[in-house]
Amino acid sequence: MTTHGRTAEELMFVRTYTLTRGRTKPRHLLALDTVLDAGPGRPGPAQAEECTQILALCRERRRSVTELAGRIGRPVTVVKILVSDLLDADALVVSVTDAYAASGTDADGRPTTHLLAALSVGLKRKWPDAIAYPQAG
C-alpha cells in the first residue's frame, strides 16, 4: 500500500525518525531488562504520544524496556531513546527490583555486598569510561 508515493515501510521509518528527532542512540545505557517506574517529574509538552503511553504503563506497575517496546509496538532502540528523555525529565526512574530491595540491607541497615555489586554493575554501565581509583586506606 502506498500513500502519496510512499510505502508503509517508508512511512514507518519517517515516523520513527520523527519520534527520536533523528537520534540513533539513547543518552542512558539501558539494558533490555532494565526495570522502570514512574518518577516525580513530568515530560516536556513536545513529547511524543508514545512517551505518554510509556508513562501510563509505568504508572500501572514497573515495566522493563522490552515490555514497554512490545506494549507500544515500537523498536527497542526507539523506546530506549524515549525512555532516556523521560529519565532526563525525572518522569521515569530506574527501579531497584524487589529481589534487591528485599535483600538490600543487612540486620544493621547497611547495604549488602549483593546490592553493592549490583550498584557497581549499574554504574559501570552508565559510565563505562570512568577511571577506577584504588580504595583509599
Q: Tens of pLDDT along 68-108? A: 999 998 888 899 999 999 998 999 999 875 444 555 556 66
Contact 19, 67 (CB under 8 A): no
**In sequence order, what DSSP letters do the residues of 70-107 get, joined into one string?**
HHHT--HHHHHHHHHHHHHTTSEEEPPPHHHHHTSB-T
* Residues with Cβ within 8 Å of residue 93, at least 6 apart in sequence: 36, 37, 38, 39, 87
Any idea where the domains of the chain sit in the sequence? 2-95, 97-130
CB 46 within 8 A of CB 21: no
The pLDDT tens digits of the residues spanning 54-65 come to: 999 999 999 999
pTM of the model: 0.62
**Tens-digit pLDDT profile for residues 119-130:** 777 777 777 777
